Chain A
């Protein structure tokens, strides 16, 4: 069964600190992997997308990595800001237009 798992379930950090969120997947055949940010009361917004041949992608203070061999991805947030408080969702797409969503990691950045 195609699944996406994320860890930790929730995370609390102080403003200015770095953090890394993890995503493991079993989706096959793999097409691409996205990280979304979802603010409370809003729909998810895409941060990064990576295909099989890409192993890192940056978007400002967000850097995503992908290891297609081990089927793992991470999202690293540098110098966190209060506005980074949100849920971060890992989504893996197969070649059949199927998107498998992870449960998300709830990040809270405290002043």
Chain B
């Protein structure tokens, strides 16, 4: 079974340029997450989707960041315009949320990430 696929793996851009990241979650996983991970720190949630609905985007800087998950499968995260402080690894993860479980394991499976460098 294929894992979470992300592309590109690396991206170098100049500040003020736009950039987009793509994620293909594990087949059948209805929950998709985008995280940002700075060097030496743990991942920080940017947005969480349940199917095609963004259910938690409270940490997404909406002035420059946008995301979409058309048809509830693939997802794209965009930054426009990029700033120097956006340099980080952007991780995508997916999980299968069972109906009726407020607890439960709902294990997240992570992609390899996209390392963004803004010059």
Q: Which positions in A face B, CB cutoff 8 Å?
A: 4, 31-32, 34, 41-46, 49, 51, 89, 91, 93, 95-99, 101-104, 106
Nearest CB on B from A75, distance (A): 14
B42 located at the interface, meaning its Cβ lies under 8 Å from any Cβ of chain A in the complex? yes
Contacting residue for A31 out of B55, B56, B103, B115, CB 8 A: B103
Main secondary structure of the interface of A (DSSP, over half): strand
Q: Please name all residues of chain B whose beta carbon is closer than 8 Å to the beta carbon of A99 when the two chains form the complex.
A: 33, 45, 108
**CA A97 – CA B109 in complex, angstroms?**
15
Interface centre among B42, B48, B102, B110 (most CB of A within 10 A): B42
Asked if B110 contacts A32 (CB within 8 A), the reply is no
Interface size for B (C-beta < 8 A) is 28
Q: Which positions in B face A, CB cutoff 8 Å?
A: 4, 31, 33, 40-45, 48, 55-56, 91, 93, 97, 102-113, 115
Contacting residue for B112 out of A34, A42, A49, A95, CB 8 A: A42
Nearest CB on B from A58, distance (A): 17
Pairs A-B, 9 closest by C-beta atoms: A43-B110, A101-B42, A31-B103, A95-B102, A103-B42, A44-B110, A103-B41, A101-B43, A43-B111
Interface centre among B33, B40, B48 (most CB of A within 10 A): B40
